[in-house]
Structure formats: C-alpha cells, structure tokens
C-alpha cells in the first residue's frame, strides 16, 4: 500500500486554476486559441481550466509516450502515441500539461509543434518541478505551482495508473 501525504488541497488548486483561466482569458480574447491537452495526466486540469475561460476554446489532445517510473528508463526517447487531429498551422496553441518534471517531454513537444507552423505557442502547466539549474521555468508561460522532489499523484497524476481521479495532489511516501 502507498502512504499518501496531501501536498496541495482542492481549494488551493481551484483558486490557482481560476487565476490562470482569468489570465488566459485576457491574453487570448478574440484569438480563437486551440488548447492542446497532453494525455493522460492533463485531462483533469484541462477540463477544469477550459470550463473557466470566458470564451470556449477549441480542444485537442496529444499523447506522448510515457516513461513509466522516472529514472528507470531515463534514456528512452519521447514518441507520439496519439497525434492531434486539428490542423495546427496558423493556430494560437496553448499546451496544457499537468507536470513539467525533467522538461524532456515539453522540449520534445515544443519542437514537434513548432514544425507544424502555429501562429503562436505557449505552455500552461499546473506543476513545474524546479531543481537547481534546470530550465523548466523558462519552458512554461503559465504556471500553477512550483514543486520540489517526490512522486506526486492525484488531479490527473498517477502512480502505475492509480490515483488519477483524486481531487487533490498528494506525495507518495510508501512503496511505489
């Protein structure tokens, strides 16, 4: 059994999601943005965020390959398991991520999307892991929370496909 310690309560998540939605509503007013959710983990954040925008955006998804447990297959290259269906050329794209950890997925996605000729490309991530010297903050335009070490679950994030539906964010403290 995993022991879970609550890290970010539901009310704090919802307050931050409201603030991000207000900021995005201002920045994208009248621009018909395409919100691109990164599966699987971003599905909860994407749903909450987009329902709070002033103007309903177009929604699409992309699913990069998952590493499973981080660190165990660190050298594996990111691939795309599910491509967006929309034509991305000339669109204002907002990538919606649950967490930017090593930053590898996001660096890959930025290159993948830039090749498709969007009018603009920005990233909204609920959680950004910062380590000394990493460039994650630079990769993210709209950030929910900065987090430190520890395996996080809940609000879309999983541990071996468990805990995604929990409404709050927890740190796994027991065995994984």
Candidate list 158, 163, 169, 170; residue touching ligand PRP; CB under 6 A: 158
Judged by CB under 6 A, does residue 134 bind ligand PRP?
no
Q: Using CA atoms, how far apart are residues 35 and 11, in angstroms rounded to an integer?
A: 24
Q: Using CA atoms, how far apart are residues 121 and 143, in angstroms rounded to an integer?
A: 15
101 catalytically annotated: yes
CB nearer to ligand PRP: pick between 50 and 105: 105
Q: Using CA atoms, how far apart are residues 96 and 9, in angstroms rounded to an integer?
A: 20
Distances in Å between the Cα of 156 and the Cα atoms of 53, 86, 159, 167 are 20, 24, 10, 8
Judged by CB under 6 A, does residue 50 bind ligand PRP?
no
CB nearer to ligand PRP: pick between 41 and 154: 41
Q: Using CA atoms, how far apart are residues 60 and 76, in angstroms rounded to an integer?
A: 25
CB nearer to ligand PRP: pick between 40 and 110: 40
Closest separation between CB of residue 18 and ligand PRP, Å? Answer: 22
Judged by CB under 6 A, does residue 152 bind ligand PRP?
no
Contact map string, positions 86 to 125, toward ligand PRP, x by CB under 6 A: -----------xxxxxxxxxx-------------------
Closest separation between CB of residue 109 and ligand PRP, Å? Answer: 8
**Strand ranges (DSSP E) for the chain?**
4-8, 34-38, 58-64, 80-82, 92-100, 120-129, 142-147, 152-153, 169-172
Judged by CB under 6 A, does residue 66 bind ligand PRP?
yes
Judged by CB under 6 A, does residue 67 bind ligand PRP?
yes
Q: Tell me which of 48, 101, 141, 158 is the catalytic residue.
A: 101
Radius of gyration of the chain (CA): 16
Contacts of 119 (CB under 8 A, 6+ apart): 90, 91, 92
Catalytic residues: 101
Which stretches of the chain bind ligand PRP, using CB under 6 A?
Answer: 38-41, 66-67, 97-106, 158
């Amino acid at each position: 059994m995993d022991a879970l310690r609550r890290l970010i309560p539901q009310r704090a998540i919802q307050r931050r999601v409201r603030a991000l939605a207000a900021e995005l509503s201002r920045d994208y007013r009248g621009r018909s943005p395409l919100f691109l959710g990164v599966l699987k983990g971003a599905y909860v954040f994407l749903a909450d965020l987009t329902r709070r925008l002033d103007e309903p955006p177009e929604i699409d998804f992309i699913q990069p390959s998952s590493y499973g447990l981080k660190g165990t297959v660190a050298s594996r290259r990111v691939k795309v398991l599910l491509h967006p269906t929309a034509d991305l050329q000339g669109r204002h794209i907002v990538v919606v991520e649950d967490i930017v950890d090593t930053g590898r997925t996001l660096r890959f996605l930025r290159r993948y999307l830039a090749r498709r000729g969007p009018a603009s490309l920005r990233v909204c991530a609920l959680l950004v892991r910062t380590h000394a010297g990493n460039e994650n903050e630079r990769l993210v335009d709209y950030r929910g929370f900065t987090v430190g070490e520890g395996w996080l679950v809940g609000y879309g994030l999983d541990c071996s496909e468990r805990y995604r539906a929990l409404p709050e964010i927890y740190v796994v403290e027991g065995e994984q």
